[in-house]
A and B are shown apart, each in its own frame.
Chain A
Amino acid sequence: MTNRLAFALQRSAPAISCTVLVLAVSGLALLGSETTQRTATQMLVMGVITVGTYIFVGNSGVLSFGHVVFVAVGAYATALTTIPPNLKHALLPALPGWILKLNLGLPEALLISGLLALVVGVVFSLLVLRLDGMAAGIATLALLISVNVVIGNWDGVTRGSQGMVGIPADLTIGSALPWLIGAIVVALAYQLSRSGFRLRASREDPVAAAALGVRVRRERSLALVISAFVCGVGGGLYAHFLGALNPGDVYLQLTLLTLLMLIVGGIRSLSGAVIGTVFISVLAELLRRVEAGEDLGPISLGPHPGIQQVILSMTLLLTLLVRPGGIAGGRELGW
């Protein structure tokens, strides 16, 4: 019995360590100013999105530029279901009546958004899962662009380039944290499932895995669908973090940030995804202060727009050149 307990603890070690890491950083942030707390909330939201992306990209080894599509679906779905009905009437009169009347709480809205993203994930998997390598990269990017064009022009539902406003911006560290822990648990559960093992086998050597009877496309679809659900939930959280939503919020910038966190942290392990999120969030916050020209202790600097992008992309470049496995290098946190 103790053996089984020890075994279960051993296997869930990455999730426990990641949770402890996230709790520690959030706890520290709670001591800080309101801006620091807001940054920490953003970190938690990004954590859900990166962990969601990791479930597919990390386990399958197929690079996806398209996961922000699920984030976008989740964000807009949450916005549509949680903007107060009277405001929605004024903003989007063309919507069907039942959507106008909807007024869900955040948890229900997030789950529905996740499910909607999951449905989009099924379509996505039919379209691009036959491809891998470069073709997959281009196809997922093409999908992201198509969806963004639709979001930017579908005025009756998304208000197009005017953007959604009036989304309750009520996300705090406390309300975001359980979702990130949930995402970590889901990711680890998938990773430890049979499908997770098969998919990672196909990542290491697709031909050998297929020869051993792994149905690569089926395992990829399953990972993609779970991944889409988590990213959809992350998108909903993102909408409630921002309070207003523009097509540009769920486009290349966010795609880059997600991939940056994943690759710098280490794309091949769950711990890598979480460490990358924490690392890049802290770095980005420091750089944001430099960019805004705030004083950093004794050093005082003028405003420098662009410096954040320069240093973040340099971090990514250096990671790829010097330590391609990222900080975690494919290993999981444990004891």
Chain B
Amino acid sequence: MAQNLVNALSLGSLYALIALGIALLFSIMGLINFAHGELIMIGGYALLAFDALPLALGVVLVIVIVVACALGMERIAFRSVRQASGETLLMTSFALSLFIQGAALLFEGADPKSVDVLGSLGASVDVAGLSVGKLDIAIIGVTAALLAGLAWFLRATPLGVQMRAAAEDFKMARALGVRADRVVAAAFGVSGAFAAIAAVFLVARTGTLTPSMGLTPVLSGFVAIVLGGLGRLWAAALGAYVLALLTVMLQAYLPSGVAPYRDALVYLGIIVILVFRPHGIAGRPGAVRV
């Protein structure tokens, strides 16, 4: 039981990193970014490319590259459709995601590649009678630090405050002098940094790279956001931990005949939640505007 809780906490931290990266953009510009998964994929391949460097330096370079890609994405693909409807934004990100995947296919091939970033993190330590992987400790710790950092950034820095204002009411914030381009670019940058760190942990957990590896994590991120509540950051993180707990518990306690259908149950649960709470568990319904 306690072992399952640790697993859920570690998985939930990974989900939270991914979900926050997506939720940040959603709350500011209403964009559901499919291409977030491809940022994670790019991070994975970048990690492989810097395999020879010391891990810390490699991770920094990965973050720089992924943030640059996220900013490029915003400039090239999303800036010109920013005013468009949510559906158009969604399709744009879908197209972008497939474009990057195709490019990765073209340059890296479809065969999975393996990376070993674990090194000494592969070992486990004893914590109060439990055998806990050092990687799990790293994931949980780093995520907690990042969440705290993000909270501080959003509360205490001018850019963070502007981002919160934009998330509240983008038009009003612009009218009050918030520069839209800067805020949106900053959000993409932060989102990219989260994607890069999620990529490092994801690859450390699975050890394999494929051009389509971004899809599953990004779907989990969506689910976490919907579970938590659309448009609220802390709720997205909460949703991530709830989703992880649900996944781990279903894995552990579902009868073996039903176990293969676990994901079907999780996603059906999402639909049911959306039907009864279209704005998520903790979301706020917006007023109908005529």
Contact = CB atoms under 8 A, between A and B. Distances in A.
B84 interface: yes
A150 B268 CA distance: 11
A146 B267 CA distance: 6
Contacts of A310: 99, 102-103, 105-106
Nearest to A57: B87
B101 interface: yes
A139 B271 contact: yes
B219 interface: yes
A127 B271 contact: yes
A334 to B, nearest CB: 27
B168 interface: no
B205 to A, nearest CB: 21
Interface string A66-105: 0000000000000000000000000000000000000000
Contacts of B207: none
B275 A130 contact: yes
Given A139-B271, A305-B105, A317-B96, A134 B91 contact: no
B94 interface: yes
Contact of A304 (B106, B223, B271): B106
Interface string A134-168: 11011101110111011001000000000000000
A23 B186 CA distance: 52
Contacts of B109: 305
A321 interface: yes
Interface residues of A, number: 43
Contacts of A259: 91, 94
Contacts of B85: 133
B268 A320 contact: no
Interface stretch (B169-177, B195-203, B258-266): B258-266
Contacts of B107: 306
B263 A139 contact: no
Contact of A153 (B32, B91, B94, B261): B261
- Chain A, interface SS category: helix
A256 interface: yes
B270 A142 contact: yes
Contacts of A145: 219, 263-264, 267
Nearest to A310: B102
Nearest to B290: A207
A308 B106 CA distance: 9
Interface string B15-43: 00000000000000010100000000000
Contact of B270 (A139, A208, A304, A314): A139
A63 B91 contact: yes
Contacts of A143: 267-268, 271
Interface in A42-60: none
A127 B272 CA distance: 8
B110 A256 contact: no
Interface string B77-116: 1001100111110111011101101111111011000000
B30 A134 contact: yes
B274 interface: yes
Interface in B245-267: 260-261, 263-265, 267
A138 B98 contact: no
A175 interface: no
A329 B270 CA distance: 35
Contacts of A245: none
Contacts of A127: 271, 275
Nearest to A262: B91
B270 A317 contact: no
Interface in B125-152: none
Contacts of B32: 134, 137-138
A208 B289 CA distance: 11
Contact of B98 (A133, A141, A150, A256): A256
Given A138-B222, A309-B101, A324 B274 contact: no
Contact of B271 (A128, A312, A320): A128
Contacts of A312: 98, 102
B276 to A, nearest CB: 9
A328 interface: no
B3 to A, nearest CB: 26
B278 A149 contact: no
A176 interface: no
Given A135-B230, A307-B102, A146 B92 contact: no
A311 B105 CA distance: 12
B264 A146 contact: yes
Nearest to B283: A135
B226 interface: yes
Contacts of B271: 127-128, 139, 142-143, 146
B274 A139 contact: yes
A134 B27 CA distance: 12
Interface string A240-261: 0000000000001000100100
A193 interface: no
Contacts of B90: 63, 134, 137
Contact of B80 (A135, A256, A321): A321
Contact of A320 (B91, B106, B211, B219): B91
B288 interface: yes
Given A146-B264, A317-B77, 5 more contacts: A150-B264, A305-B110, A307-B106, A310-B103, A320-B92
26 contacts: A63-B90, A127-B271, A128-B274, A130-B278, A131-B274, A133-B86, A134-B90, A138-B222, A139-B271, A142-B267, A142-B274, A145-B267, A146-B263, A146-B268, A150-B264, A207-B288, A208-B290, A256-B98, A310-B99, A310-B103, A312-B98, A313-B98, A313-B99, A314-B99, A320-B88, A320-B95
